[in-house]
Amino acid sequence: MLNYIFSALFCLVSLTAVAQTSPDVYLFEIKTSPTTLEVLSGKNISQNPKYDNQPSFYDENTVLYSRTEDSLTAIGIYEISTQEASVLTDEPNSGFFSPQRLPETDRVVAVRQDSEGRQRLAVYDFKTKAFQKLLDSSQVGYFSFYDKDTFIASVLVPNQMDLYSGHISKQNLKMIMNNVGRSLQKVPKSKSLSYTVVNEDQNLDLYVLDLSVDEPTSYFVCELPIGRQDYTWLDENRILVGSGDSLFVYDLFGEPAWEFLVSLNKYQLTNITRISISPDGKHLALAAEPVE
């Protein structure tokens, strides 16, 4: 595989600024081994001229994402087995971002943005068909849950985001780090969460937060490619990022470098950002801009 040198301008983007572009959500059937990733098929599953982004997997068969129509950003759903698309929410004067399954439950948690621009963690109950605030005191930008109670969040403050850890049951937040990125992930098959920090060169360093000890401890893993903000864990040992129309991988047990993995140019997409892997490892969802 070939080493790849990235060059781009890095900037932190708030949820409202992201909507300046019009990405779509793409779904790929994949096959992986400890050293390879093969893309078997793929397609645009959102098919929407407005903002579609932030895909995640509710389960092996269901993709969640943020979908904007008629100036409202709702939670979109795509069922892989039936190829059916729908919208989970239709709440006036609100927007929903970063939808994810709340671990150990059948509920969906998201950042709910109200008409005044406040962003709060909220959870959707399929029985009551309503959202309920989980955390009412902080301007949450992005988040990742370790279990149904424990999470980390990038909280919006003037000119940057800061990282906090928290517990829903205690309604508390604890500062971890200043000036962090937006991509927060659960590390597969581990007791860890990962996050990024803006370094001296204004690029992003990736850290793992170990929650298996009494006092959670952070460990440096690698620097993301220049200009990249988003990543996902392909498995517990490999990290995946997108750049342009291609995917690149960093293997914790390989050479300390990002290496080219696969090109997706035949799917007519570019500017890959958010990436998510299904729980069974058979599908990959990503946000990218369609090539006209």
pLDDT in tens, 155-176: 999 999 999 999 999 998 999 9
* Of the candidate ranges 2-11, 21-30, 158-167, 265-274, the one whose mean pLDDT is the lowest: 2-11
- CA atoms of 189 and 192, how far apart (whole Å): 9
Q: What percent of the chain has pLDDT over 70?
A: 93
The number of residues in the chain equals 292
| Cα distance from N-terminal residue to C-terminal residue, the chain | 30
CA distances from 269 to 263, 279, 282 (A): 10, 24, 21
The DSSP secondary-structure symbol of 20 reads: T
What predicted TM-score, i.e. pTM, was given to this entire model? 0.91
How far is Cα 123 from Cα 144, in angstroms, rounded to an integer? 13
Helix (H, G, I), strand (E, B) or coil at 266: helix
Task: Give the residue extent of every domain in the chain.
Answer: 15-290
Q: What are phi and psi of 274, to 5 degrees?
A: -65, 140
**179: alpha, beta or left, given left = phi > 0 and alpha = psi -120 to 50?**
left
Number of Cβ within a 10 Å radius of residue 1: 15
Question: Containing H/E element for 229?
Answer: none
SS3 15: helix
Q: What is the CATH number of domain 15-290?
A: 2.120.10.30
Q: How confident is the model at residue 21 (pLDDT cuts 50, 70, 90)?
A: low
